[in-house]
Structure 1
Amino acid sequence: MKVEWQEYLSTGVLEIDIQHKLLFEKYNAFLAAVEAERGPEEIGKLFWFLEAYTVTHFREEEEVMQRLGHTELPRHRMEHHDFVRKVLDFKERLKSEGPTPHLILTTTRFISTWLINHISVMDRAIGKTAASKTSGSLE
């Protein structure tokens, strides 16, 4: 369930797009470790890093939204919160169960689907807000 950056995912906000591409790289590194059957410790470290980077990215993305006056910030923040809560649950299960095939499949399906859906709808709306602010300030 590797995720590949596609142009349709671009928000048009450079710092957000760069972070999304890096987020995809971190997610794919986690997948590669799982597929190579690296030990639970290495898989756990990569998952921890993915989780930490996601939290950092969400905070920075929400700051951009606040600066832009993006009206969907409360809803967007709630989606971020729900994602982090679910990822924390996966992390705890990885610690207790280890990287079982079922847990890995459940985790990767959730993360890849969520990333693509969230970026293509919610995050692209940030780009629309940014574009309207830019075009509005030129008039």
Structure 2
Amino acid sequence: MLMQWNDDLNIGVLEIDIQHKLLFDKFNAFADAYQSRQSTDEIMRMFWFLEAYAVTHFKDEEKLMQQVRYPDFDKHRAKHVAFVEEVNKLKERLKVEGLTAPLVTTMTGFITNWLIDHISTMDRAIGRFVQNSSQLPTR
């Protein structure tokens, strides 16, 4: 159930690559809390923290895309919005169903697949754009 970071997922923008690795860490903290049968409160805390970090990361990534004038910004942002909407649906299910094994399996499957697919395709395209245009923003 844990996600293993693979350097092939690096997109070539250091700040974003670091945040992606941290997303994996936050996901693994949530999955580990569930697998080790920690309290429901602790598991939920890990899930909320993962969600909050994902939203923060999306904002940073969107800021970068705007700074470099990334041409597919709207399409990319729509994927972020869809992720947040799906996570909100999962949170509603958690409130109704509780922390059940099938729901956790659904949650972890969705997050794992989404992150790997999104990083491998959408985010990698940002990295290529930044590298090809030499438009990495300065701080």
Identical amino acids, percent of aligned pairs: 51
Cα RMSD, aligned residues only: 1.1
Is the Cα–Cα contact under 8 Å of residues 40 and 98 in structure 1 kept in the other structure?
no
1:44 matches 2:44: yes
Distance 2:96 2:9 in 1: 35
Aligned AA (2:80): H
Q: Which runs of 4+ in 1 moved over 6 A?
A: none
- 1-structure distance, mates of 2:92, 2:36: 22
Q: Work out the CA distance in 1 between the residues paired with 2:123 and 2:2.
A: 20
CA distance in 2, matches of 1:15, 1:92: 32
Q: Tell me, in whole angstroms, the C-alpha distance in 2 between the residues paired with 1:94 and 1:42.
A: 14
CA separation in 2, counterparts of 1:38 and 1:95? 18
Q: Which amino acid aligns with 2:15?
A: E
Q: Which residue is equivalent to 1:99?
A: 99
TM-score, normalised via structure 1 length: 0.93
Q: 2-side partners of 1:48 and 1:71: how far apart?
A: 32
1: CA distance between counterparts of 2:35 and 2:94? Answer: 15
Structure 2 Cα separation of the partners of residues 95 and 30 of structure 1: 17
Listed as ranges, the gaps of 5+ residues in structure 2 are none
Q: Which has the higher helix share?
A: 1
Question: Which whole-Å CA distance do the structure 2 matches of 1:3 and 1:70 have between them?
Answer: 29
Q: TM-score, normalised by structure 2?
A: 0.93
Distance 1:67 1:17 in 2: 17
Runs of at least 5 residues in structure 1 that lack an aligned partner in the other structure: none
One-letter identity of the residue aligned with 1:62:
E
